[in-house]
Amino acid sequence: MNEAFDLTGKRALVTGANTGIGQAIAIGLADAGANVVAAGRSSCDETVQLIAARGKSAETASLDLSDGSFGVDALEKLGELDILVNNAGIIRRADSVEYSEQDWDDVIDVNQKAVFLLSQAFAKSVFERDGTGRIVNIASLLSFQGGIRVPAYTASKHAVAGLTKILANEWAAKGINVNAVAPGYIETNNTAALRADAKRNGEILSRIPAQRWGDPADIAGAVTFLCMPASAYIHGAILNVDGGWLAR
């Protein structure tokens, strides 16, 4: 394998790796040679089994990102990591005028606060051993757009974009690449209702130049590239993987 596209010997933590995009990212990194830690509040055993079936290495870790201190403590116990993928996220829907403070706090804690705290802990570990590392954050189309009825999610994903840039500014010269991938409309459990709604599905597809929903593997490919030596000079980028949605 071309060394520029090889992750052999690297150890990667993927949060929210139990299903969907996170699971696909974990598999993609493993296929590229990384030893993967699939982490989540729910069991990631299925992900590890899928990776093992491909003849690759993976392990699971329990990570409750609703509790920032627990997440950081768990990360520190995992030992040396070369790659951190901040994929875990939640969403709560309600009209903004009725949106509860509890829903706001829950979403911000997982989608924004945990991204910063895990990135901070990861960077400290890398700097202590005078190493190098990669952080890839999962942003969203709502890092750029407003959306409807998801105020905390929109705010948190705008924050992910901002955090990606400030951390890149501070850490690029110190050996850590920080970038983000912004998925478009992807076929996951979270979008099942939208895809089942013929009218809404049609409206979405008519806006996507690629004329299809994305596959979780589409996101995995972008994330894996941003973890590879081939992307060494990419810092602070937010890569839209949206079938062209934002271009229209």
Q: Where are the domains of the chain?
A: 3-240
Planar angle of CA 206, 211, 217, nearest 5 degrees: 130
Q: Is 153 a catalytic residue?
A: yes
pLDDT on residue 157: 98
Report residue 77's pLDDT band, with 50, 70 and 90 as the boundaries.
confident
Tell me if 23 sits within 8 A of 2, measured CB to CB. Answer: no
pLDDT at residue 18 greater than cutoff 80: yes
pLDDT at residue 148 greater than cutoff 80: yes
Check residue 108 and give left, alpha or beta (phi > 0: left; psi -120 to 50: alpha): alpha
Buried b (16+ CB within 10 A) or exposed e, 82-99: bbbbbbbbbbbeeeeeeb
Q: How many CA atoms lie within 13 A of 111 on its CB side?
A: 28
Catalytic residue from among 99, 153, 185, 233? 153
Instruction: Classify domain 3-240 at the CATH topology level.
Output: Rossmann fold (3.40.50)
- Average pLDDT score over residue span 43-48: 96
pLDDT on residue 1: 61
Q: How many CA atoms lie within 13 A of 233 on its CB side?
A: 0
Report residue 66's pLDDT band, with 50, 70 and 90 as the boundaries.
confident
Q: Encoding tokens for residue 78?
A: 């995992």
- Average pLDDT score over residue span 121-130: 96
pLDDT on residue 68: 72
pLDDT at residue 198 greater than cutoff 80: yes
